[in-house]
Amino acid sequence: MPDTVAEIVDWLGLGQTLRGPELDVVVAEVIASVTRAFAADPTPIADAVDTARQLAQSGVRMAVASSSAAPFIDAALAAIGLEHAFPVRVSAVGLPHGKPDPLVYQLPLDR
């Protein structure tokens, strides 16, 4: 199963037939659909959530550097109650290259 927006669009066969604004609408709907599905039934790793909360309460500054779209990052953090623990969030969507390109990791450090 594809896991990036570009892969999903290609998997659906839409990358060849849609361009410009039409493709943008489809991409936005894919992101919104995946975001809604996750927010409705998140599956957090309890120990990871607890650790993040403890670190945030201790004053450790944390950030998210993700290949996921920004709306998904925001919704995922809100769904598991960590929206305040990660004030800096960077999505590789829209960057010239996704992970493992270092830019998605460097941008949070610069903020």
β-strands 88-91, 63-66 pairing: parallel
The angle at the Cα of 75, spanning 53 to 28, to the nearest 5 degrees, equals: 155
The helix/strand/coil state of 96 is coil
Spatial neighbors of 104 by CB under 8 A, at least 6 apart, are: 65, 66, 67, 90, 91, 92, 95, 98
List the one residue out of 16, 4, 8 whose CA is nearest residue 94: 4
Q: What pLDDT is attached to residue 97?
A: 83
71-85, pLDDT tens digit by residue? 999 999 999 999 999
pTM score over 0.85 = no
Residue 88 has pLDDT above 90, yes or no: yes
2-27, pLDDT tens digit by residue? 456 666 667 777 666 766 777 778 77
